[in-house]
Amino acid sequence: MMTVTRCLVSWLLAEGWLGLCALATLTLAFGNFVVAWQSFVAQGFEPIPLRHIPFLGPWAEAFALGDAPLASLYALVLTVAMNIAVITSVKMVARMYQLYFDYRDVRRAQDSAVHSRAEDYLDMMLKTGLWLLPMLGFTILVIMWDVAQFRFRYETLFRDLTEPAEVLQWAPEAVARLGHFLARFMLTAVWGYVGCVVGMALAMEYGFMRAGEQWQVLDNAFRQAIEGERTRQEQQPPAPVETLAGAAEPVRQTAGGPRRARIAEPVIGGAPEARPASLPRPPEQVAAPEPSPETPVTAPPTGEPEIEVIVGPGETRRIPLAELEARPDQYVRAESGRAWFLRTYYEQGVMDRPSEEERQR
């Protein structure tokens, strides 16, 4: 029960972290929308309300947005496009990161069954990379457009711009227009905001990954607790035969209540008395197969979460997580962090490392 509670708390903390990241991302998106809207208004974009625009008017009226100017629609499109582009690019980069370490592990494997999967991982890396390259290009373009809106908004704040035509009178350099300090401040502020957006996208991706891992651990803990309880019930000995007080017949305790066992009455004339009906024999104890010397013996289920451990070519076993962490000399985790191996198989079959006897020779 303690293991399940600990796993549940860890999963709730991971979900809480993910919720904080989502809240921060929404706050940044709202701030970006406001700044972009002010920038579009200062640039002289159409102030026509959305209800006067063909095709969009009925939709805007249906959502009570008929009085919103057209500049707000431009700002909303820019904000949503930038956030989706950044989050998608970050997820593709994380996918490439995982595929690279998986490809490296199977590429070093000596076993032919594991080694044959290297081409599949390489194909997935190439496919993801082909999607990532154009996505990064479009993401950079959208970020540059958003940065330009921030810069123009800062210019209007520092110079009290009232007419877009005044931009034609600006000096070409920001230092000549605003001074060295303000120009440097603007450059830091706009790219600092982009850093916040990218950083929160990375934090959200890590939060999703962490929440998924903790959910898997919690699921394993629940399954192990249920299997352990079921095993304990199956290993309990059968209930003994009890005799009710004042009764001459033995009573057998069953799930539906006590049941009287029939006993044959003695035969008159000195015949031997019939014996009670034979009780069912207890189940025979089947000897468990002896473990292989290459595979360590695992303890019976104790409520701890179990992890699939690769112990040989195409062979896996479920071993408690506590035992894996307590015996690093026999178990090892892949560098990608996505699989556990028996150390002897991982070093000799996967990583193609010499054994201890070969090193001594």
List pLDDT tens digits, range 313-344: 767 888 887 787 778 778 887 766 667 888 88
Q: Which segment of 101-110, 115-124, 160-169 scores lowest on mean pLDDT?
A: 160-169
Is residue 254 classed as helix, strand or coil in its secondary structure? strand
Q: Is the pTM of this model over 0.75?
A: no
* pLDDT at residue 271, as a whole number: 47
Say if residue 223 is in the same domain as residue 312: no
| Alpha-helical segments (H) within the chain | 2-42, 56-62, 70-107, 112-115, 118-159, 174-178, 180-235, 321-326, 343-345, 356-360
287 lies in a domain?
A: no
CA 320 to CA 318: how far, in whole Å? 7
Say if residue 227 is in the same domain as residue 310: no
Say if residue 191 is in the same domain as residue 310: no
Residue 252 φ then ψ, to 5°: -105, 125
289 lies in a domain?
A: no
172 lies in a domain?
A: yes
> What end-to-end distance do the CA atoms of the chain give, in Å?
49
Say if residue 225 is in the same domain as residue 355: no
List pLDDT tens digits, range 201-250: 888 888 888 888 888 888 887 887 787 777 777 777 665 555 444 444 44
The last residue of a domain, from among 231, 260, 284: 231
Say if residue 56 is in the same domain as residue 177: yes
The parent domain of residue 343 ranges over 306-360
Question: 314 is written with which tokens?
Answer: 């195409």
Say if residue 191 is in the same domain as residue 334: no
The last residue of a domain, from among 210, 231, 252: 231
258 lies in a domain?
A: no
Instruction: Name the average pLDDT for the chain.
Output: 75
Say if residue 339 is in the same domain as residue 192: no
Calculate the CA 5 to chain-centre distance.
Answer: 19
105 lies in a domain?
A: yes
205 lies in a domain?
A: yes
The last residue of a domain, from among 231, 247, 267: 231
Say if residue 197 is in the same domain as residue 343: no
340 lies in a domain?
A: yes
Say if residue 329 is in the same domain as residue 209: no
Say if residue 194 is in the same domain as residue 312: no
295 lies in a domain?
A: no
Question: At 359, is the pLDDT very low, low, confident or very high (cuts 50, 70, 90)?
Answer: low
Question: At 94, is the pLDDT very low, low, confident or very high (cuts 50, 70, 90)?
Answer: confident
39, burial (CB in 10 Å: exposed 0-12, middle 13-18, buried 19+)? buried
Question: Based on the structure, what is the number of domains in the chain?
Answer: 2
Say if residue 106 is in the same domain as residue 7: yes
DSSP of 92-160: HHHHHHHHHHHHHHHHS--SHHHHTTHHHHHHHHHHHHHHHHHHHHHHHHHHHHHHHHHHHHHHHHHHT
CA 144 to CA 8: how far, in whole Å? 43
